[in-house]
Structure 1
């Protein structure tokens, strides 16, 4: 039985060294229980990247486009295809160790070739997008097609390890944004042809230059004045709709594009985590009735903060008000797909700091019906770009199905809200009165006028009783 299994197993399956497993894994297959909630959100619709979805008939049309991009890449590098494929083959074990899950592809499946084509396609796509977004290439010319490719590149099952893309970029395109690529390539070609330059001397003669590490390549690399890697700049530029101006912090290791998008969506500052899940809190309408105000928090990422204040100097609970501050949540067509894949990644890789999962678990508590969505939209903390508000309510309520909730970073905020609601009897009734009788200028004016009429009627009745006692 063992011999039969070994026979059917592809040769590259044995290339995974023991010391690469399992802590190096970062690309996962989404579990069936999670996938069944919305299978389309985890499945590429246009293009396959990596081994998990390679060869699917519905994705074959884009294979020709990937090959065209690869051919264009070879016109801009001095490396041959054999050199680049050897580069991939030498790192095959390390690449394989990043994938958690079975890779079933048959006898004709060339793992190195698949990884090379996909990696070169991504690098060439990013460079073309940065150099001339309005070019004549089919993918970038069509906004719809570009967005569809961008969305597929974020899927958890549709990833390449980021270290591979960056190392391959270093090996094939040793340039930075401060030096035009054609000038550096021309200089490199001249050096190769004349074969009379001492690279060590060049390193001391040219400004801002250094010799790159041998494990990457053996040519001269121009070093940028900034510490950001040029390929990381290209990547952030391509996914700028998610970055919102946020950069990758120094010391942060990006594992792949899903991980990069998570980094953009996470709070800028680390939060305190406790080993208790989010407590049940009242939905948005009840909190509003208890005097909780929903405010827009102008920070990057998904963040929720509570701010309690007192309207008088006596520090009485009945005069206490509270602001619940939330960063802007803009619901678009691609929102569910992006959020679900980031949440799935957190379930595997970040169980102790699942910021995105916690944010939407909290939102699930706030939103019960479409009225809660209406309230959040009126408060300016939620924007609906998919049409129906009821659809937004259903989306928020379904995002956390099959999501584990063992730790929480919003325990303090939940405690504040529950305490405020329990002791704010006065706030609740005042809020109800304001909502019914003072919701706008005309209603308030009518209420005040009615009160005056009532007071004068009572006074008139009392005076008439004085003059005409029963």
Structure 2
């Protein structure tokens, strides 16, 4: 009976209440809402990508920047950050106050670089975090470059597994600092690194950091292409997208696969889809997924030298590449590999290529079948030769 009670009087009371309070509340929300700053370039990973690869985008040992700062699993590294800040200050001979003032002047600009709003983080807390993390990143890059900077009691670089995890965490999309902040602190520090100007120093040091994770680029070659009489050759180009198809030959750069390769590229995919209109990395893995599907594909590529893997087996290689394709997509109008696909499709559609390959695949796929077919064809071949010879004698 209670469920049938009439609540219409409550609606009448609400309708009679003035709307001034609601209007004020909405106006306040409208005033506080604003689009992302134009300077924004550090994003959180889109939900659809995180759903399939949550651990891939989450740092394991160290937070860089505000997006993961303070997480319980990363707090142990905070004491190492402080030790690196101390080492940074002693080595640069600059006062802590100078660095604090520099970061404070850049605070709002730094905040504008992030897609998330950190209004609840006080100015002092934010400046401290950015300064500590900036010094930490610079110290890691410099120690990568100059091993003499690594002290005997260094608890990161003297533990190979720890420095590996730190390097990989520093590659994550959500674990980044604005590049200009690194430049400004490096400039104030006047660190002597023989790599040109400050921008060139950071680019060179960062490149060394990436190379230590052993990442290069390439593409894979499938058996369906093999059935269409397409050959595979390793290209000399270091360009990720420099895949050429000419004269039945697919020329592709070598791909070195390591345990960190998947995480690195998934974070690149996430950044690209947040920031750029032309999704070249996404296009790359879309085509890659179409070119490799089975363990025999991975084996073929390994034998040809196109893939050089440190994973346990070909099945793991194929699974890694197919997993990367989960976050990719393509649009025909902006697809980077349109010309390549058109050339491959035209070649595959040629009936002569399919006919010859079908004969080879069905009748010459193993030494035994080659022997049987050759033996069966021998009498016919001898008869044909005798006929031709006898015709030649008659004509004479």
So what's the TM-score if we normalise by structure 1?
0.68
Give 2:303's aligned residue: 378
Q: Which of 130, 141, 164 lines up with 1:147 in the alignment?
A: 164
| 1:323 equivalenced with 2:340 (yes/no) | no
| 1:74 equivalenced with 2:89 (yes/no) | yes
Q: How do 1:421-436 residues align onto structure 2 when only pairs under 5 Å count?
A: 421-423=348-350, 425-436=351-362
| 1:297 equivalenced with 2:217 (yes/no) | no
Q: In the aligned structure 1, how far is the partner of 2:210 from the partner of 2:309?
A: 21
Give 1:164's aligned residue: 181
| 1:46 equivalenced with 2:17 (yes/no) | no
Q: Once the two structures are superposed, what CA deviation does each residue of 1:323-377 show, in whole Å capped at 9, x if it has no partner?
A: 122211222111110000011111122222x222111110111123323223332
Displacement after TM superposition at 1:428 (Å): 2.2
- Aligned with 1:53: secondary structure? coil
Give 1:210's aligned residue: none
Q: In the aligned structure 1, how far is the partner of 2:260 from the partner of 2:129?
A: 27
Displacement after TM superposition at 1:163 (Å): 1.0
The worse-fitting range, judged by mean Cα deviation, of 439-448 and 116-125 is 439-448
Alpha-carbon contact 1:347-1:404 (below 8 Å) kept: no
Displacement after TM superposition at 1:122 (Å): 1.1
Any stretches of 5+ residues in structure 2 without a counterpart? 1-20, 27-31, 387-396
The worse-fitting range, judged by mean Cα deviation, of 442-451 and 339-348 is 442-451
Alpha-carbon contact 2:57-2:173 (below 8 Å) kept: yes
Q: In the aligned structure 2, how far is the partner of 1:389 from the partner of 1:231?
A: 37
Q: In the aligned structure 1, how far is the partner of 2:385 from the partner of 2:90?
A: 95
Displacement after TM superposition at 1:399 (Å): 1.7
Q: How do 1:165-180 residues align onto structure 2 when only pairs under 5 Å count?
A: 165-173=182-190, 175-177=192-194
Q: Once the two structures are superposed, what CA deviation does each residue of 1:7-65 show, in whole Å capped at 9, x if it has no partner?
A: xxxxxxx9xxx9x9522111000011110111111000110000000001101111111
| 1:412 equivalenced with 2:339 (yes/no) | yes
Q: How do 1:14-25 residues align onto structure 2 when only pairs under 5 Å count?
A: 22-25=37-40
| 1:399 equivalenced with 2:317 (yes/no) | no
Provide closer, same or farther for how the CA distance between residues 392 and 376 of structure 1 changes in structure 2, counting only shifts above 3 A.
Answer: same
Give 2:223's aligned residue: 285
Q: In the aligned structure 2, how far is the partner of 1:227 from the partner of 1:447?
A: 69
Q: In the aligned structure 2, how far is the partner of 1:394 from the partner of 1:38?
A: 14
- Aligned with 2:117: secondary structure? coil
Alpha-carbon contact 1:347-1:403 (below 8 Å) kept: no
| 1:367 equivalenced with 2:292 (yes/no) | yes
Q: In the aligned structure 2, how far is the partner of 1:142 from the partner of 1:443?
A: 56
Q: In the aligned structure 1, how far is the partner of 2:267 from the partner of 2:209?
A: 18
Give 1:125's aligned residue: 140
Any stretches of 5+ residues in structure 1 without a counterpart? 6-13, 179-223, 245-263, 268-282, 310-321, 461-470
Q: How do 1:165-204 residues align onto structure 2 when only pairs under 5 Å count?
A: 165-173=182-190, 175-177=192-194
Structure with the higher helix share, 1 or 2 = 2
Give 1:236's aligned residue: 207
| 1:390 equivalenced with 2:315 (yes/no) | yes
Alpha-carbon contact 1:302-1:329 (below 8 Å) kept: no
Alpha-carbon contact 1:304-1:359 (below 8 Å) kept: no
| 1:111 equivalenced with 2:38 (yes/no) | no
| 1:32 equivalenced with 2:47 (yes/no) | yes
Q: In the aligned structure 1, how far is the partner of 2:321 from the partner of 2:208?
A: 29
- Aligned with 2:69: secondary structure? coil
Alpha-carbon contact 1:266-1:355 (below 8 Å) kept: no
Q: In the aligned structure 2, how far is the partner of 1:291 from the partner of 1:330?
A: 25
Q: Once the two structures are superposed, what CA deviation does each residue of 1:419-443 show, in whole Å capped at 9, x if it has no partner?
A: 11111x2222322333455457786
The worse-fitting range, judged by mean Cα deviation, of 73-82 and 333-342 is 73-82
Q: In the aligned structure 1, how far is the partner of 2:57 from the partner of 2:372?
A: 55
Q: In the aligned structure 1, how far is the partner of 2:209 from the partner of 2:181?
A: 18
Alpha-carbon contact 1:119-1:160 (below 8 Å) kept: yes
Q: How do 1:228-267 residues align onto structure 2 when only pairs under 5 Å count?
A: 229-241=200-212
Displacement after TM superposition at 1:306 (Å): 3.2
- Aligned with 2:244: secondary structure? strand
- Aligned with 1:401: secondary structure? helix
Q: In the aligned structure 1, how far is the partner of 2:64 from the partner of 2:337?
A: 36
Q: In the aligned structure 2, how far is the partner of 1:228 from the partner of 1:450?
A: 72
Q: In the aligned structure 2, how far is the partner of 1:326 from the partner of 1:459?
A: 45
C-alpha RMSD over aligned residues: 3.4
Alpha-carbon contact 2:234-2:251 (below 8 Å) kept: yes
Give 1:338's aligned residue: 264
